[in-house]
């Protein structure tokens, strides 16, 4: 059987060329016999032998073409990288807020007067270690100064106070779960949209939880809207299982900042303190990663069976998560979270 060299990688071809020529030159075998035994065309071995005769064994070493030189200087290449990292195409007059090869191509033409094809732009981005990624959403209303103050000053002070008073720091948040999963991409014939069987049930539940840097986890499932009265009940349940002081970090949801909630916190005589995150900064709450994990690995991946309860499924997922303290601690080490367990 004849081997098609185009199906082999460069190193394998190099090894076969050298092995074939050694069998002819050193072992005295006939070129036609060697070619047939290795599965090559009978005439392919003769050019290799001539190259060894004229240039030596190094002539058989694979040499991969480097391609044409880049039209941009190194200074220009680094400038392209600075355009993209931490920036938005709209800052350069484009209407679209996501970087594409076409936008980079246009910007290079505008700034440098250099025309690059889309393939060259893609190669340039790869060389600059810029890869296509799904971006995180950030609200325009975010206050970077306030966020930096929290991460660099306020939270370090809170950790210091917690160590001094023997208090535990928890992060609290709420979310909703639906029996209708978010379908991701799948494969199908071009022009024919695939059909995926899912449950026709429409169930919704809400969950409130709190997680600590040590991997402790508390949660409750509920179906009603969160109001100040219900939130106080949740806080009482949460504090029932706590010993010593607790510093609870949360967002400024109306139920969290209600007057009655403040009165309840005062009634704990210092056992409970509420500390609020900067507005529009959910990425600073590790409890958000709890929801991200559950929605990506729980109900979303395994649609409800007929007559199955969403509440029971979510409670089972939460119970499993509660046992995995290592996973819970890992939510504090995500890239977008600044908290590290001391």
**312 and 231 share one domain:** yes
**53 and 172 share one domain:** no
Domain count, the chain: 3
Share of the chain above pLDDT 90, in %: 35
**205 and 117 share one domain:** no
* Mean pLDDT along residues 116-144: 78
Could you tell me if residue 134 is inside a domain?
no
**49 and 107 share one domain:** no
- Indicate whether 36 pLDDT > 60: yes
Q: Please say whether the beta carbons of 247 and 273 come within 8 A.
A: yes
pLDDT band at 105 (very low <50, low <70, confident <90, very high): very high
- Indicate whether 258 pLDDT > 80: yes
**92 and 182 share one domain:** no
Kind of pairing between the strands at 204-212 and 168-178: antiparallel
**296 and 324 share one domain:** yes
**171 and 317 share one domain:** yes
- Indicate whether 80 pLDDT > 60: yes
* Global pTM value: 0.60
CATH number reported for the structural domain that contains residue 157 in this entry: 3.30.420.10
Q: Please say whether the beta carbons of 290 and 209 come within 8 A.
A: yes
Could you tell me if residue 132 is inside a domain?
no
In whole angstroms, give the CA distance from residue 271 to residue 281. Answer: 26
In whole angstroms, give the CA distance from residue 214 to residue 200. Answer: 40
* Mean pLDDT along residues 240-249: 92
* Mean pLDDT along residues 100-113: 91
pLDDT score, position 18: 86
pLDDT band at 250 (very low <50, low <70, confident <90, very high): very high
Q: Please say whether the beta carbons of 84 and 132 come within 8 A.
A: no
Q: Please say whether the beta carbons of 338 and 284 come within 8 A.
A: yes
- The domain of 115 spans 74-127
pLDDT band at 202 (very low <50, low <70, confident <90, very high): confident
Between the ranges 26-35, 158-167, 275-284, 327-336, where is the mean pLDDT highest?
Answer: 158-167
**267 and 328 share one domain:** yes
* Mean pLDDT along residues 57-79: 77
**216 and 102 share one domain:** no
pLDDT score, position 160: 94
Could you tell me if residue 215 is inside a domain?
yes
**183 and 311 share one domain:** yes
Q: Please say whether the beta carbons of 272 and 239 come within 8 A.
A: yes
Rounded to 5 degrees, φ, ψ at 88 are -130, 135
pLDDT score, position 301: 61
Could you tell me if residue 68 is inside a domain?
no
Among 63-67, 141-145, 239-243, which stretch is predicted with the lowest mean pLDDT? 63-67
In whole angstroms, give the CA distance from residue 211 to residue 329. Answer: 9
Which of these three, 38, 60, 82, is where a domain ends?
60
Alpha helices, DSSP H, located in the chain: 10-25, 31-38, 45-55, 74-84, 101-112, 118-127, 144-149, 155-165, 228-240, 259-267, 287-297, 310-323, 325-330
Could you tell me if residue 203 is inside a domain?
yes
- For residue 281, the 8-state DSSP code is -
Could you tell me if residue 341 is inside a domain?
no
How does the average pLDDT of the chain come out, rounded?
83
Share of the chain above pLDDT 70, in %: 83
Q: Please say whether the beta carbons of 57 and 18 come within 8 A.
A: yes
The structure tokens 């900042």 sit at 257
SS3 for 155-203, per residue? HHHHHHHHHHHCCEEEEEEEEEEECCCCCCCCCCCCCCCCCCCCCCCCC
DSSP letters of 52-78?
A: HHHH-GGGGS------SPPSS-HHHHH
Could you tell me if residue 138 is inside a domain?
no
Higher pLDDT, 195 or 268: 268
pLDDT score, position 17: 84
pLDDT score, position 247: 96
Among 47-61, 261-275, 291-305, which stretch is predicted with the lowest mean pLDDT? 291-305
In whole angstroms, give the CA distance from residue 43 to residue 47. Answer: 8
**190 and 96 share one domain:** no
Q: Please say whether the beta carbons of 116 and 71 come within 8 A.
A: yes
**54 and 84 share one domain:** no
Could you tell me if residue 69 is inside a domain?
no
């Amino acid at each position: 059987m004849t081997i098609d060299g185009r199906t082999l990688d460069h190193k394998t071809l190099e090894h076969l060329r050298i092995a074939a020529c050694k069998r002819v030159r050193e072992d005295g075998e006939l070129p036609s016999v060697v070619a047939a035994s290795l599965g090559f065309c009978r005439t392919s071995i003769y050019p290799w032998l001539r190259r060894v005769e004229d240039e030596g064994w190094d002539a058989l070493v694979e040499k991969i073409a480097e391609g044409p030189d880049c039209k941009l200087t190194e200074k220009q290449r680094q400038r392209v990288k600075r355009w993209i990292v931490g920036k938005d195409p709209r800052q350069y007059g484009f209407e679209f807020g996501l970087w594409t090869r076409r936008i980079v191509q246009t910007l290079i033409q505008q700034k440098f007067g250099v025309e690059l094809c889309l393939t060259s732009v893609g190669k340039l981005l790869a060389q600059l270690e810029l890869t296509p990624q799904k971006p995180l959403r950030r609200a325009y209303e975010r206050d970077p100064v306030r966020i930096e103050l929290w991460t660099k000053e306020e939270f370090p002070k809170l950790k210091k106070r917690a160590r001094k008073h023997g208090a535990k720091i928890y992060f609290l948040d709420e979310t909703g779960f639906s029996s209708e999963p978010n379908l991701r991409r799948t494969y199908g014939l071009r022009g024919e949209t695939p059909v995926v069987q899912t449950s026709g049930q429409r169930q919704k539940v809400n969950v409130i939880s709190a997680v600590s840097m040590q991997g402790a986890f508390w949660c409750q499932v509920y179906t009603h809207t969160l109001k100040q009265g219900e939130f106080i009940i949740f806080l009482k349940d949460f504090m029932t299982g706590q010993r010593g002081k607790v510093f609870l970090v949360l967002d400024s949801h109306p139920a969290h900042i209600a007057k009655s909630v403040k009165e309840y916190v005062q009634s704990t005589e210092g056992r409970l303190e509420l500390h609020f995150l900067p507005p529009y900064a959910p990425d600073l709450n590790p409890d958000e990663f709890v929801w991200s994990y559950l929605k990506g690995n729980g109900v979303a991946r395994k649609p409800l069976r007929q007559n199955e309860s969403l509440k029971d499924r979510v409670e089972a997922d939460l119970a499993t998560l509660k046992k995995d303290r290592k996973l819970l601690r890992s939510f504090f080490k995500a890239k977008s979270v600044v908290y590290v367990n001391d």
